[in-house]
Structure 1
Amino acid sequence: MLAGALLPWVLLRPNRLAPGEYLRLPPALAGTGVLLAVLPLLTARFLPRLTWLPASLAVVVGFWWLGSQTQAALVNQPPFARASAASGVWLFLLGAGIGVYGAGLLARSRAGRWLAWAWLPPVAALFVSGHLNAWSVLVEGRNEGPRWVQELGQHLRLVGGGLGLALLIGVPLAVWAAGRERVAAVVLGAANGIQTLPSLALLGLLIAPLSALADTFPALRSLGVSGIGVAPALTALTLYALLPILRNGVVALRGVPFGTVDAARGMGMTAAQLFWRVRLPLALPVWLSGVRQAAVLLVGVTAVAALIGAGGLGTYIFKGLQSAAADLILLGAVPAALLALLLDAALRGLERVLGRRLGRVE
């Protein structure tokens, strides 16, 4: 945070692609930033339960300054001028984020941990109120408009489709392999082998066979199967998601306590009842951890699939790389990162809920 307050805060460019001029915070604001950088350290030393307050304040102030400084930079500038966040913004917000995380660790109660999120409503209000509308990333987002929403929807469809197909294939395979050592070795070995292939290489390898398949069977081409586009993307995503689902499924099913299974057999349960009422519920929290890993993995791999015409948020990442437009890169990368974090948090919460319920049942 200290370095961020002293480094350039805004990059003002005459247009999206042209080089620009770095602008620093005014001296009064820079001095305030230095003070905000010191306050969390002092609070953590003398009042650890209140560390959330200066850390959350620093996050809110960082976004406020980003909005006010980008607005000030664009005064008397042409409509196509861009005011981007410079290195000072990112370092300041990174330091403030570390302070918020540390405040959550120092909290000794659940209420204290929730207070570490006190920055979220004010920051959301800044976005909703339009205070940050001069920030170049949001300017590009408004310009893209419906196209960005379309690509986000495509990204979600690809992730959901790949994960769903992997579950349809991986769940029966994991159940079959859990009680058969040789089958497990073959299945997990094949999934491990696929995982070692770089995502771009796997997408490239799928182009030729899928093109040949579509040429041989024209009906498949009418269904959308071709060497580029959604078909190879979904195939690659499904293959990548198989390993965590298979591995965690096999480990979870094998980890069900033998005594519990034996007691269920003694009660006269059939094999189907034993699986659905005993083995699967007990294995589900660990198995769901594999599903969570697969979902987060697919969010990143889907971005690469934009290179073969599958669409998604990766379209903006590679478009920005080709034109050296950092704002377009952020327009694709930041939502993809947030999507991965949301999926991880949601599925992790589901794991905890299942674990608590099973713990109470036991």
Structure 2
Amino acid sequence: MLVGAWLPWVLLRPNRLAPGEALGLPLGWALLAAALALLPALFGHARRTWVWAGAALSLTLGLWLLGQQTQGALAGQPPFARASASSGAWLYLLGAGIAAFGAAQAWPQRRGLGWVWLLPAGGLAVAGHFGAWSVVVEAQSEGARWVQELGQHLRLVGTALGLATLLGTPLAVWGAGRPRVAAAALGLSSGLQTLPSLALLGLLIAPLSALADAVPALRAAGLSGIGVPPALTALTLYALLPVVRGGLLGLQGVPAGVLDAARGMGMTQVQRLWRVQAPLALPLWLGGLRQASVLLIGVAAVAALIGAGGLGTYIFKGLQSAASDLILLGAVPAALLAIGVDAGLRRLEGWLGARLGRAG
């Protein structure tokens, strides 16, 4: 954080593609930012309160300065000018965020305070304080198109996860009591996941195109070598390994004594599966679904290269035109989406595990 206070804070460019001029913080603001950055280091040994307070104040000040400096940089500039965050802003905000998160984790009884800084940050966003930041400008210009691509990204991930669950769950159930079947299922799914995502998408173009040409009904239904069909096929294959592995670990981890008790009560094999094994295996199975979901959110971005849409559209458009703002417009929402899904499913896993533990 201390270094970030003195590095360039804003990059002013005459348009989206042109090189820009790096602008630093005014001396007074740089000194204040540096002082807040030093606060946890100087007094953190005495009280954890200082660590968290200094980090939270640094993060709030950094966000405020980002909006303030981008607004000031664009004053008197033409409409096509862009003011983006430079290395100093990113380094300062990253350091403050890590410090706030670490302090909250080390302070379990008040861990909720780790997210209090979201309140002023949200207030600044609602007030339009970041309206001059280039990423926000690009998001406003894209508007409905960005929402459409986000929806397409979610559809790709959700559909592929559903297909992988429909395929992987029966494989896990079949292989739970058959070591050879389990080894074959894990070996095949592991082999598929070793293929690079871009290579797998390329390999699917020829066979799917040939299948569409051979069966006109499939072509009429929308099957082709590019677009959504090969993307869904590749994403489903990628998600098989965590789904199958999670199901196998959960089913094989059910204690033998529990199964013997269920067998002694006269339960059939199907009844043992649905009433005993499946509920006890659910937390580990959800762990596999969580891993598959996070994996798919990232891999789905590559599907934009074959015309399947999604947030990857902005990532590759930004790479082609060297526009970092467009890259952030696709990469940051995808990362936040993955973090949110992971956190939500992880909490559900913990809740189910605790409930089953109490029931046991």
- TM tier relative to shorter chain: over 0.9
Seen in structure 2, the aligned counterparts of structure 1 residues 256 and 137 have a Cα distance that, compared at 3 Å, is: same
- Counterpart of 1:61, as a letter, is L
Structure 1 equivalent of residue 60 of structure 2: 60
Residues 224-283 of structure 1: CA deviation (Å, up to 9, x unaligned): 110000000000000000000111111111011111111121222222221111111111
Q: Secondary structure at the match of 2:112?
A: helix
**Paired positions, count:** 360
1:180-195 aligned at under 5 Å gives the runs 180-195=178-193
Q: Secondary structure at the match of 2:22?
A: strand
Q: Secondary structure at the match of 1:51?
A: helix
Deviates more, 1:148-157 or 1:120-129: 120-129
Structure 2 equivalent of residue 39 of structure 1: 39
Task: Quote the Cα distance in structure 2 between the aligned partners of 1:73 and 1:260.
Answer: 68
Residue 96 (str. 1) matches residue 96 (str. 2): yes
**TM-score, normalisation: structure 1:** 0.98
Contact 1:12/1:21 (8 A) holds in 2: yes
Contact 2:85/2:133 (8 A) holds in 1: yes
- Counterpart of 2:221, as a letter, is L
**Corresponding residue to 1:294 among 292, 295, 299:** 292
Task: Quote the Cα distance in structure 2 between the aligned partners of 1:273 and 1:81.
Answer: 67
1:134-145 aligned at under 5 Å gives the runs 134-145=132-143
Q: Secondary structure at the match of 1:281?
A: helix
Contact 2:84/2:133 (8 A) holds in 1: yes
Structure 1 equivalent of residue 119 of structure 2: 121
Please state how far the C-alpha of 1:186 moved relative to its aligned partner. Answer: 1.1
Task: Quote the Cα distance in structure 1 between the aligned partners of 2:98 and 2:44.
Answer: 12
Task: Quote the Cα distance in structure 1 between the aligned partners of 2:94 and 2:266.
Answer: 58
Over the residues paired in the alignment, what is the CA RMSD in angstroms?
A: 0.9
Structure 1 equivalent of residue 2 of structure 2: 2
Residues 95-134 of structure 1: CA deviation (Å, up to 9, x unaligned): 101111221222041xx10011111111111111100010
Residues 121-169 of structure 1: CA deviation (Å, up to 9, x unaligned): 1111111110001000000000001100000000000000100000000
Q: Secondary structure at the match of 2:79?
A: coil
Residue 352 (str. 1) matches residue 350 (str. 2): yes
Please state how far the C-alpha of 1:50 moved relative to its aligned partner. Answer: 4.5
Contact 2:39/2:50 (8 A) holds in 1: no
For structure 2, the residue ranges without an aligned partner over 5 or more in a row are none
Task: Quote the Cα distance in structure 2 between the aligned partners of 1:360 and 1:84.
Answer: 52
- Counterpart of 2:321, as a letter, is S
Contact 2:242/2:291 (8 A) holds in 1: yes
Task: Quote the Cα distance in structure 2 between the aligned partners of 1:32 and 1:50.
Answer: 16
**Corresponding residue to 2:129 among 127, 131, 134:** 131
For structure 1, the residue ranges without an aligned partner over 5 or more in a row are none
**Corresponding residue to 2:313 among 312, 315, 320:** 315
Task: Quote the Cα distance in structure 1 between the aligned partners of 2:67 and 2:36.
Answer: 18
